[in-house]
Each structure stands twice: as structure tokens, then as C-alpha cells.
Amino acid sequence: MQSRFSSAALAAGVTLILGFMVLGISFSVEGVVPTLEVSESHKIIGLLIGAGLVFLLQYFRAEVSKVTAKMKGDGQAHELPSFMRTEKQQRVLAFWAVGALLLFPFLSSRGAVDIATLTLIYVMLGLGLNVVVGLAGLLDLGYVGFYAVGAYSYALLNLYFDMSFWMALPIAGGLAALFGYLLGFPVLRLRGDYLAIVTLGFGEIIRILLNNWTELTGGPNGIARIPKPTLFGLEFNRRPSEEGATTFHDFFGISYSSEYKVIFLYLMALLLVLLTIYVIRRLVRMPIGRAWEALREDDIACRSLGLNPTNIKLGAFTIGASFAGFAGSFFAARQGFISPESFTFIESAIILAIVVLGGMGSQLGVVLAACAMTILPEMAREFDEYRMLLFGLMMVLMMIWRPQGLLPMKRPHLELKRD
């Protein structure tokens, strides 16, 4: 009893001390003199309530963990809910979902469509990283590097060679894949933790390179005025950008509205995401997808059967990178402006969080997690300064309650059919 009380008190004390340093004191500059002062009273009260909560949670830990154990399940992959178990049900469901997503931009506000487009970019990034982390089991902390390669590929090709988005898109994907291949070639021989560190370094190197190679990339100022994609040559600007170009509204004889552009971008992102989902669905049913899983389970057995682990991992790395490249070039086109600041480590962390949160290897899980990770912060704008804190809290809670992720992968098994 005694130790239970004292350990709970200790936990509450640590919370108070750490919390006070983060929230309890505020730093301000009066004239030239920096001063520290105690924050407003509501923050202090909040802190005390928080510490009280920690105390109670720790004190009744045994009781609490009984409840959480139930939510955790058996740690294994869970069955999908009953209405989406068979292939046919899934197909019907997917059909309706896609239909709803297609209708969505015509029924909602411009702002909502814009956020949805951003979400779709993260879905694509999450799906791509999922190939590397979830399917092949390689911890890649520098995924944002490939995203940057894709974005700058389009921006630079357009800037120097006047290349259109549609021409640049495959090149951007290809270049990102090439970077993935070149990085993976020496690095994939390393064991897990080393791989994580090298990829982390790679992401930073790319960003620093973009920042410092001012003549080529514009450095920290970035590249502006990147043109939006066109619909078979039709532009979404108010006026044609150059002699001889046609705009969308002129072509169809309707009046100009900036909403067309937003909706078009959304639909394009949706198309890219659907393509990504299809490609990955195929991949896991192909020899390379089987090899990824086998490699995750037992790489020694794989070697003994003539599978070359480095090549198979390299495949995952390259394919994953190419998705980041596609997403990157779309991102550049949508923003119209990119700078190295968009490609910091925190982006890699968010994408990785999407994969872990969704449930490694699970496509549906990643889609849901990407939505949660982009829409929730938008809805909770007033908590902006504590976003990272909430983010951390969410991860910790996930690790306690559902370490396997929201919707862990239930891999499709290939069946032997007998006549």
C-alpha cells in the first residue's frame, strides 16, 4: 500500500516539475531584459488538475490496466467488422466510398476541399512509406527526402525546361525512385537501427542541400510560381498564361470561378491515391510482396531458398520512394511554392506516425490514420501550440491500448484451389 502511494506521488511530482517548466513559466522580453514569470492562473490550475489525474491513474493502475487490457485485444491482427469481410462486400463498400469521395467536392466548401486534398497527399505518403516500413519491415526515418526530390524535380524541370506537370510527374517519380535505389544500395546491408539513422541523415542532407545550393534551388527562398496541372492542356487560371493557351472556363463557355481549380486538384489527388492503392494491392499479391513478408519473418530461411534479401529490400525502398516522388510533385503543383522548410524531419515523423497509427501494412488503416492526423489538427486550431504535445500523447496512448495500430493488417492469403 505504502509503495503504491509513494510511486503515484512520485509520478505526480515529476509531472508537476516537467509541466511547470513547459507551461508554468513564461518568457518575455521587456526592452532588452529577458524576464521569466509565472504563467496565468488557469494554466497553473490546469497543471495541478493534470498532476492530480496522473496521481489517480498511477494509484489505481491495476484497476485501469484491467480495463485497457480488454481494449487491447490479443495483440494479433483483428478481424474486420462483419459487413466488410468478404471480397464482394469489400468491393461494394469501396464502390460507394469512391462514389462519395467523387461527389464530396461538389457538396462542400472550398476550405474543406482544400483540406481534403492535403489529406490525400498524406494518404499517398503514408501508403508509400507503408510499403517500406509496414510491408518490408525497414525503418525509414528520411522518407521526406524522397518527397522533396519529387517536389523539386517538378519545380526545377518547370523552371529551367518549362516542362508541364504531366510530363514531369513520371520523371519526378522516377528520380525519387533512383534516389531510393542509390541510397538503398549501400545502406540496406545495415541492420535495422543503423538503417534508421542513415535514412534520417539522408533526409537532412537533402534538405540542407536544397537550402544551400542557392544558384539552382533558390535556397531558403524556395521556388515560386510553379504552375498548376492542366486538364488536357486547359488551364485553370483566370487568364491564359501565355499566347495560344486556353483556359478551362473559356473552353466550356462558363464564367471563371477559382473553385474549379480546387476541385480539379482534389480529384487529381484522389486519382493518384486510388492508383497507389491499386498498385500496392497488386504488389502484396505478387512474388515481391510475398518475399517482403517472408523476409520480415525469417531472413535466414529466405537466404537458404535463394532469395536475395538486399534486392528484395531494395525493391521496397525504390517503390516506396517513387510514391513519395509522385506525391512531392503533386504537392509542388498544388502549393505553387516550395521551399526546404516544407521538408523537415517532422514531416517524416508525421508520415511514420500515420503508418504506425494505422497499423503496419494495413492500407485502410493508413488511410484512416492519415485522415485523423491531418483533419484533427485542423479542427483543433486553438490548441495549435500544444499540437506536438497532443501528438505525443496520442502516440503514447496508442502504444498502451493498441500497439498493433487502428486496423492492423490482415494479409490476403493466397489459396490453393482444388478441383
Partner 1 sequence: MTNLLTVKDLTMRFGGLLAVNGVNLEVGEKQIVSVIGPNGAGKTTVFNCVSGFYIPTAGSVMFQGKEMRGKPGFKIAQEGMVRTFQNVRLFKEMTVIENLLVAQHMHAEHNLLKGFFMTSDFKKKEQELMDRAAYWLEKVGLLDFANREAGNLAYGQQRRLEIARCMVTEPKLLMLDEPAAGLNPNETKDLDELIVHLKDEQGISILLIEHDMGLVMGISDQIYVVNQGEPLASGTPAEIQANPEVIKAYLGEE
Asked whether position 178 contacts partner 1 by CB under 8 A, the answer is no
Asked whether position 294 contacts partner 1 by CB under 8 A, the answer is yes
CB 140 within 8 A of CB 125: no
Burial classification of residue 419, based on how many CB atoms lie within 10 Å of its CB (0-12 exposed, 13-18 middle, 19 or more buried): exposed
What per-residue string of b and e applies to 137-151 under the rule 16 or more CB within 10 Å gives b? bbebbbbbbbbbbbb
Asked whether position 287 contacts partner 1 by CB under 8 A, the answer is yes
Asked whether position 200 contacts partner 1 by CB under 8 A, the answer is no
Q: Which residues pair with 25 in a beta bridge?
A: 38
Asked whether position 91 contacts partner 1 by CB under 8 A, the answer is no
Give the residue from 173, 126, 166, 119 showing the smallest Cα distance to 149.
173
Quick one: cell of 334?
498544388
Q: From the list 274, 279, 349, 394, which residue makes contact with partner 1 (rule: CB under 8 A)? A: 279
Asked whether position 87 contacts partner 1 by CB under 8 A, the answer is no
Helix %, strand %, coil % for the chain, to 5? 75, 5, 25
Question: How many beta carbons lie within 10 A of that of residue 85, not counting itself?
Answer: 12
C-beta of 287: minimal distance to partner 1 in Å?
4
Pick 62 or 416: Cβ nearer partner 1: 416
Tell me how many residues contact partner 1 (CB under 8 A).
27
- Pairwise CA distance, residues 137 & 268, whole Å: 30
Asked whether position 306 contacts partner 1 by CB under 8 A, the answer is yes
Asked whether position 305 contacts partner 1 by CB under 8 A, the answer is yes
- Pairwise CA distance, residues 173 & 183, whole Å: 15
Pick 45 or 275: Cβ nearer partner 1: 275
CB 319 within 8 A of CB 177: yes
Specify the stretch interacting with partner 1 by CB under 8 A; choose among 7-15, 172-180, 304-312, 367-375: 304-312
Q: Which amino acid is at 109?
A: S
Rg (CA), the chain: 25
C-beta of 357: minimal distance to partner 1 in Å?
22
Helix (H) or strand (E) holding 412: none
Site string for partner 1, 309-338 (x = CB under 8 A): x-----------------------------
C-beta of 295: minimal distance to partner 1 in Å?
9
C-beta of 137: minimal distance to partner 1 in Å?
13
- Pairwise CA distance, residues 346 & 216, whole Å: 25
Q: From the list 297, 383, 397, 399, which residue makes contact with partner 1 (rule: CB under 8 A)? A: 297
Q: From the list 101, 196, 307, 394, which residue makes contact with partner 1 (rule: CB under 8 A)? A: 307
Asked whether position 4 contacts partner 1 by CB under 8 A, the answer is no
Pick 307 or 349: Cβ nearer partner 1: 307
Which residues contact partner 1 (rule: CB under 8 A)?
Answer: 279, 282-283, 286-288, 290-291, 293-294, 297-298, 300-309, 413-416, 418
